[in-house]
Amino acid sequence: MGIASINPATGLTLQEFEALTEEVLEQKLAQAAATFGDYRWTSFAQRASWLRQAADVLEQNKQAYAQLMTLEMGKPLAGAIAEVEKSAWVCRFYADHGAEFLADVPVTTDASRSFVRYQPLGVILAVMPWNFPFWQVFRFAAPALMAGNVGLLKHASNVPQCALAIEDIFRKAGLPQGAFQTLLIGASRIADLVADDRIKAATLTGSEPAGASLAAACGRQIKKTVLELGGTDPFVVMPSADLEAAIATAATARMLNNGQSCIAAKRFIVHESIADRFEAGLREKFAALVVGDPLQAGVTVGPLATPSICTELEAQVNACLAQGATALIGGDVAALKAQLPAELRQGNWFPPTILTQIPPGTPADQDEFFGPVALVFQVTSLDHAIQVANSTPLGLGASGWSQDPTEQDRLITELDAGAVFINGLVKSDPRLPFGGIKRSGYGRELGIQGMYEFVNVKTVWVK
């Protein structure tokens, strides 16, 4: 089976790769297991040095890596450059703090000496998505490698060049051969892979069905998993909010990565007393966006990553419109394509769209809209806002906008999400744990908590 790299802006194939044969896959597994036998005993100082060198490689080649991301999945070039820089940041963060995070923790008990020791598990499989093809991988790899684990990457099949580039970055950084390897295989081979005794745990960022499938396969083998899945993140705006700042941030939060981010604000839940002003301001921001070739300076919205994402998003929007929703702007794919240069019209395009006056019972109630579509809901009170915000089965991130300390505290406490940001957009940060609740997954990446997901938390008691 071939794995193709396709430019989503044009629909043209960039490069094709053959999936690994069973023989080559076995060689990579054997190499990973053998490498772990030595790598686990390397010092924190040595691992930190390798991670800092990886950060150097990223920064020295950020333009080339960014262009590769843009060509394979369509994000605007400026955003891709920022992603490379953030990947370097997470490498340096764990290089600087990993030894401290993993140091023995003494505990006073009835023993002469007792403490907690953190030790690596072994070969960890990472099943990663296409939307942040560098960042998602490095936020797994940096803490896992710093802890003494080795990694196998099964990346999304539409970003094979990114996947191979990341393996090459760790090689250039000086890590031992086999410490981090890319596996060019299809999703259908994951279950057999996790059944191999040499793989000790797995992590996945992606869709809910993909997460359920991996968790089921690992569950049969009694193997640890961390899942970061979808989000229908609410963006709650109350009358006390700085409305101008809220509108500007709302546009940024929704359009991040062409709208293809799990933690992008998707449902804008606005108090009725300020809803007209919010909608008018958001429409103005959307109208100023520039859709086009993401490699070109000034373009703020590129294509969606695959044709199927466009098809699904268009069906969701059309279902809402058919049931009575109003499009303040956008919604017409054909009109957008007619405005694009001829060489881009076969790409995966969707116009920045705002839906409002959305009646109950549409896909907007529960579904994740993975693209540049903002869903605006009007509410009558903070109680009503929290009820709407919590009404979906997902719980990744949430943003609340209020200058009232009491309202802020209620939003922090009562919103069902793995992260709540007050008067700011939801974002990941190496210094803070990241992950969701409900059907958005479990476990945490980043922060000190992210380091502890793939280690043996060993109790030691000595008398």
Supply 227's token pair: 């899942």
Is residue 202 within 8 Å of 210, Cβ to Cβ? no
d(CA 331, CA 313): 10
d(CA 260, CA 413): 27
d(CA 285, CA 56): 36
Place of tokens 């009835």: 110
Side-chain half-sphere exposure of 306, counting CA atoms within 13 A: 13
DSSP 88: H
Q: Which residues of 216-246 are buried (b: 16+ CB within 10 A; e: fewer)?
A: ebbeeeebebbbbbbbbbbbbbbbbbebeeb
d(CA 152, CA 35): 12
DSSP 395: E
Q: Strand 113-120 to strand 105-106: parallel, antiparallel, or no bridges (unpaired)?
A: antiparallel
> Collapsing DSSP states into helix, strand and coil, what is residue 140?
helix
Q: Which residues are catalytic?
A: 228, 262
Is residue 194 within 8 Å of 221, Cβ to Cβ? yes
Q: Which residues of 18-47 are buried (b: 16+ CB within 10 A; e: fewer)?
A: ebbeeeebeebbebbbebbeebeebebeeb
Q: Strand 437-438 to strand 394-395: parallel, antiparallel, or no bridges (unpaired)?
A: antiparallel
What is the residue-wise DSSP string for 106-118? E--SSSSEEEEEE
**How many of the other CB atoms lie within 10 Å of CB of 424?**
12
What value, to the nearest 5°, has the Cα angle with vertex 194 and ends 191 and 196?
120
